[in-house]
Amino acid sequence: MNALVVTFVLVSLSTGARETVDAAAARERVSPYSTFKVPHALIGLETGVLTGAEHAMKWDGVARARPEWNRDQTLRSAIEVSAVWYFQRLATALGLQREREWVEKLGYGNARVDGDVTTFWLGQSLRISADEQADFLRRLWTDALPFSPRNMQIVRDLLPGQRGPHGEIHAKTGSGRGTCWYVGHVTHDGAGYVFATRISDPSCDRVAAIALTERMLRERGLWVE
């Protein structure tokens, strides 16, 4: 794939060392799309709108593009299959003002929560850079966010993962309108790192973002399948 923009940010949790591919692109803010499910889940848990990993919501019977969305969901399954409707219902329950207050409190990207409460993170007002994604994840994995340790652990555990012979990856994809994200945490022989990958290209998809990230990590000796 001939990507128009590829950026990758890697931060060591033990030393703070940072590596960036295309520093200018890493500072560019774009929509978070479904990577916002990470802070969104934290906000839902901290406010009590969500009670835990198994908090259930009934499917409304409306058939959506991805078949795996068309069933009842829990927070766990909604993150696993990236069910947008679950988080849109969460956003409605939170309301625009609470969403805005929490996003501003987090300093998440441009912290703009405007317009439709069900779409502000889907190509609308909220924007974030790869640098800021990595910083948010660093704070999540070091218990430095304004959430309870319990809730941060729940969300870390819920992120889709895979295990290799030397460690694990737990991360979230996000994509829309030619932007594809893969952001998360990787361990290698006990050392932890956070990463943020973004591809901007009309033909990109979440599979490409995952593949690119795994290649970047393999090249640095941090991932072996």
Active site (catalytic) residues:
34
Q: What is the DSSP letter of 71?
A: S
- For 134-167, letters b (16+ CB in 10 Å) and e give bbbbbbbbeeebebeeebbebbbebbeeeebeeb
The residue among 158, 220, 221 whose CA lies nearest residue 8 is: 220
Secondary structure class of 187 (helix, strand, coil): strand
The first and second tokens of residue 206, run together, are: 């979440």
**Could you give the CA distance from residue 150 to residue 61 in angstroms, rounded to a whole number?**
33
Report how far apart, in Å, the C-alpha atoms of 151 and of each of 131, 155, 159 are: 24, 6, 13
Tally of CB atoms within 10 A around 117: 19
155's tokens: 């969300």
